[in-house]
């Protein structure tokens, strides 16, 4: 019983001793994995925060996470008490592509403070066939032994917005889970292949948010895994394959030990699996009697056409812009090629899609830009562009046709053979003149024979100017390099001087009797000195890595241990001055002594 109360009092002290600590986050992951291999990405934070903000490369897929756990430890050594708190976020990932990838720094925020981890580099190797076969066999055996059926407590479904549509008409498929259990993450997810459909994924949040929902009189936690817009590509009965999910359940285990309840209880984990039923969609063929300009567009559309000019010279270019807007199977639309006069040279259009996928379907626009070059003068008519589509709402075909354009072409300079097009936009059209050049007359700027620019006065003037400019650029560059090097050298050189200034501030607090402020000033002096002397960012320095950094500078182990002990004493005494085991004056003298010894060791 006495032991119980001692532990309880120590736990009550934890929040007091943790207030004001710096916010730190560290990340861990294996350096090398193979394609198809699952691995854990773990972030540890020394304070209670939300899940870190991370951006994963496309080569990795999140199978589950974040799984959250926390731990608090108390150590009493020689009458001195120290506490530590860790919040761990665990993600289960799988590597999809071979290569070397870097996960950017993860960020967390708390009370206006922001901390970020170091980037993590992972090399993904190609998986050999033998390993893949053994992994698949072992995973199948594990499924038979450890994976349970979700039953009525956990199941997944594929919900479709409608099941009777026309070919090319869109429907929305929502992949959703239902659970009464406490889920800790996902082990594996197999999405449907959507055979017979053209599918586009609707953007949904990466982290699944569970909501309470009434399902046949039962309350479930439900969440949307993914959403897709589907466009059937053929008529008949189309089947959507099952959607499979393996999830990890975290279940509390009852215990007769009172200490288990006090410390949060015991939990066990197991895997459950469910597969959605097959879903059938009836796809009706499009009616007969489609117009000649119909190319498979289904939905509701508008057509706009324009030209950038109606008057130009022969061999100059103009652009015909055709813009199709609306909603439907825009990405599958094939625009009929307009008819142009035979005197016009036409290049393949430049296509600019601007399509958004939403739960109501795909909507936006596709712009076609045709580059046209008339080769002879005259007046030409550009016929209206025609486009047809099927509208499921009215169950009828509709044809669109915009205005025609009259183009006046004047006589150009030179013959038609003088134009070369390197691309299909008007900016890339260049006139290189005619095949037969006329005899020039007038002042031709002729020079006597045997007169050379090389060795002349203008040549030497240009040569000297060029050489002078080169020397000036090199001198400026060397000065910049020297200034950058000097900044790093001056920071290292002034480290001792800056630390002494901070120690004087600590001495001032010591004389005033402000022990807490004195310990804080000593910590700032030490961390600031180490950051300046080692030429790294202060935010990258932690109690865990400062020893390794000093060992790289050949600092003796004894001195490193004294430094870490001094940091621990200051951290403890900073928030509990009355419980400090070493008097403040001794701590101050030890800090000055250690900085002096480090100054001699680190060069």
Query: Taking Cα atoms as reference points, which of 602, 523, 533 lies closest to residue 563?
Result: 523
Give yes or no for residue 398 having a pLDDT over 90: yes
DSSP three-state, residue 218: strand
Rounded to an integer, what distance in angstroms lies between the CA atom of residue 71 and that of residue 263? 10
Buried b (16+ CB within 10 A) or exposed e, 152-173: eebbbbbebeeeebbbbbbbbb
Lowest mean per-residue pLDDT among 63-77, 175-189, 242-256, 263-277:
63-77
Residue recorded with tokens 């324009």: 306
Under the banding of pLDDT at 50, 70 and 90, the label for residue 600 is: confident
- C-alpha dist (Å) from residue 467 to 463, 464, 470: 6, 5, 5
Instruction: Identify the pLDDT of residue 288.
Output: 92
- Average pLDDT of the chain to the nearest whole number: 80
Number of other residues whose CB lies within 10 A of the CB of residue 490: 11
Instruction: Please report the domains of the chain, with CATH numbers, ordered by start residue.
Output: 25-125 (2.60.40.10), 147-284 (2.60.40), 294-410 (2.60.40), 488-601 (1.20.120)
Average pLDDT for 270-288:
92
DSSP three-state, residue 290: coil
184: Cα separation from own chain's centroid: 24
Q: Which helix (H) or strand (E) holds 591?
A: helix 584-601
> Using one digit for the tens of pLDDT, what is the confidence trace for 95-125?
888 999 999 999 888 888 888 899 999 999 9
> Using one digit for the tens of pLDDT, what is the confidence trace for 68-81?
777 776 666 655 66
What does residue 145 show for φ and ψ, rounded to 5 degrees? -90, -45
Number of other residues whose CB lies within 10 A of the CB of residue 506: 25
**Is residue 320 within 8 Å of 382, Cβ to Cβ?**
yes
Rounded to an integer, what distance in angstroms lies between the CA atom of residue 417 and that of residue 426? 17
DSSP three-state, residue 178: strand
Average pLDDT for 55-62:
86
Query: Taking Cα atoms as reference points, which of 305, 387, 381 lies closest to residue 344?
Result: 381
Instruction: Identify the pLDDT of residue 483.
Output: 67
Average pLDDT for 262-272:
71
- C-alpha dist (Å) from residue 26 to 32, 47, 52, 531, 535: 19, 12, 11, 19, 21
Give yes or no for residue 290 having a pLDDT over 80: yes
pTM check: above 0.85? no
Rounded to an integer, what distance in angstroms lies between the CA atom of residue 31 and that of residue 21? 30
Q: Which residue has the higher pLDDT, 522 or 263?
A: 522
Instruction: Identify the pLDDT of residue 61.
Output: 86
Query: Taking Cα atoms as reference points, which of 14, 9, 76, 17 lies closest to residue 573?
Result: 17
- C-alpha dist (Å) from residue 108 to 48, 111, 114: 10, 10, 6
Buried b (16+ CB within 10 A) or exposed e, 449-485: eeeeeeeeeeeeeeeeeeeeeeeeeeeeeeeeeeeee
Rounded to an integer, what distance in angstroms lies between the CA atom of residue 43 and that of residue 108? 10
Beta strand 38-45 with 25-28 is: antiparallel
**Is residue 591 within 8 Å of 566, Cβ to Cβ?**
yes
C-alpha torsion angle, residues 498, 504, 509, 513 (rounded to 10): 150
Average pLDDT for 82-104:
85
- C-alpha dist (Å) from residue 65 to 43, 185, 361: 11, 5, 30
Under the banding of pLDDT at 50, 70 and 90, the label for residue 276 is: very high
Instruction: Identify the pLDDT of residue 518.
Output: 82
Q: How many residues are present in the chain?
A: 603
Tokens of 450: 């045997």
Rounded to an integer, what distance in angstroms lies between the CA atom of residue 70 and that of residue 51? 13
456: left (phi over 0), alpha (psi -120 to 50) or beta: beta
Beta strand 405-410 with 311-313 is: parallel
In DSSP terms, which residues pair with 378 in a beta bridge? 409
Instruction: Identify the pLDDT of residue 140.
Output: 46
The DSSP string of 378-444 is EEEEEPPPEEEEEETTTTEEEEEE---EEEEEE--SS-GGGEEESSSSGGGEEE---SSPPPP-S--
Could you check whether the bond before residue 58 is cis, i.e. omega within 30 degrees of 0?
no
Q: Within a 13 Å sphere around the CA of 33, how many CA atoms are in the beta-carbon half? A: 20
H-helix segments, 423-556: 457-493, 495-512, 515-534, 543-552
111: left (phi over 0), alpha (psi -120 to 50) or beta: left
DSSP three-state, residue 156: strand
Highest mean pLDDT among 21-30, 230-239, 247-256, 330-339: 230-239
> Using one digit for the tens of pLDDT, what is the confidence trace for 401-459?
888 999 999 987 754 444 444 344 444 444 444 445 556 666 666 666 656 666 678 88
């Amino acid at each position: 019983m006495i032991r119980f109360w001692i532990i309880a009092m120590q736990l009550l002290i934890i929040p007091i001793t943790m207030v004001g600590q710096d916010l730190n986050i560290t990340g861990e992951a294996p350096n090398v994995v193979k394609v198809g291999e699952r691995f854990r990405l773990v972030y540890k934070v020394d304070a209670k925060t939300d899940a870190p903000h991370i951006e994963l490369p496309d080569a990795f897929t999140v199978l589950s996470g974040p799984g959250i756990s926390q731990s608090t430890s108390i150590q009493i050594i020689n009458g001195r008490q120290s506490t530590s708190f860790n919040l761990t976020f665990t993600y289960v990932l799988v590597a999809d592509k071979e290569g070397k990838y870097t996960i950017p720094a993860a960020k967390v925020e708390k009370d206006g403070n922001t901390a970020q981890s170091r980037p993590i580099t992972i090399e993904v190797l190609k998986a050999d066939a033998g390993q893949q076969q053994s992994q698949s066999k072992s995973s199948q055996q594990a499924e038979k032994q450890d994976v349970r059926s979700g039953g009525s407590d956990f199941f997944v479904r594929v919900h479709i917005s409608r099941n009777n549509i026309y070919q090319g008409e869109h429907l929305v498929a929502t992949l959703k889970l239902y659970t009464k259990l406490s889920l800790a993450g996902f082990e594996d997810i197999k999405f449907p292949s959507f055979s017979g459909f053209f599918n586009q994924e609707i953007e949904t949040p990466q982290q699944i948010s569970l909501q309470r929902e009434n399902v046949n009189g039962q309350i479930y936690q439900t969440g949307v895994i993914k959403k897709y817009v589907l466009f059937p590509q053929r008529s008949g009965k189309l089947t959507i394959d099952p959607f499979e999910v393996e999830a990890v359940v975290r279940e509390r285990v009852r215990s007769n030990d009172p200490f288990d309840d006090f410390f949060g209880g015991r939990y066990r984990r197991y895997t459950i699996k469910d597969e959605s039923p097959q879903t059938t969609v009836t796809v009706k063929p499009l009616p007969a009697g489609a117009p000649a300009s119909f190319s498979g567009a289904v939905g509701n559309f508008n057509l706009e056409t324009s030209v950038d000019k109606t008057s130009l010279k022969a061999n100059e270019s103009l652009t015909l812009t055709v813009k199709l807007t609306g909603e439907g199977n825009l990405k599958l639309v094939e625009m009929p090629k307009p008819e142009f006069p035979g005197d016009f040279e036409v290049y393949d259009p430049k296509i600019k899609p601007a399509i958004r996928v939403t739960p109501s379907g795909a909507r936006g626009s596709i712009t076609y830009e045709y580059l046209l070059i008339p080769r002879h003068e005259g007046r030409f008519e550009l016929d209206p562009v025609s486009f047809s589509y099927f509208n499921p709402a009215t169950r009828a075909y509709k044809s669109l046709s915009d205005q025609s354009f009259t183009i006046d072409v004047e006589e150009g300079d030179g013959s038609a053979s003088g134009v070369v097009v390197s691309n299909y936009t008007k900016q890339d059209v260049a006139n290189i003149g005619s095949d037969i050049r006329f005899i020039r007359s007038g002042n031709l700027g002729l020079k006597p024979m045997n007169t050379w620019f090389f060795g002349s006065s203008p040549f030497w003037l240009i040569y000297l100017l060029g050489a002078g400019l080169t020397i000036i650029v090199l001198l400026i560059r060397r000065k910049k390099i020297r200034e950058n090097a000097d900044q790093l050298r001056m920071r290292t050189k002034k480290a001792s001087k800056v630390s002494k200034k901070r120690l004087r501030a600590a001495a001032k607090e010591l004389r005033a009797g402000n022990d807490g402020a004195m310990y804080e000033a000593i910590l700032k002096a030490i961390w600031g000195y180490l950051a300046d002397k080692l030429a790294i960012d202060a935010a990258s320095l932690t109690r865990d890595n400062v020893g390794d950094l000093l060992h790289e500078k050949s600092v003796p182990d004894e001195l490193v241990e004294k430094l870490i002990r001094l940091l621990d004493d200051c951290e403890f005494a900073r928030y509990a001055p009355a419980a400090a085991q070493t008097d403040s004056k001794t701590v101050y003298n030890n800090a000055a002594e250690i900085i002096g010894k480090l100054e001699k060791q680190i060069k």
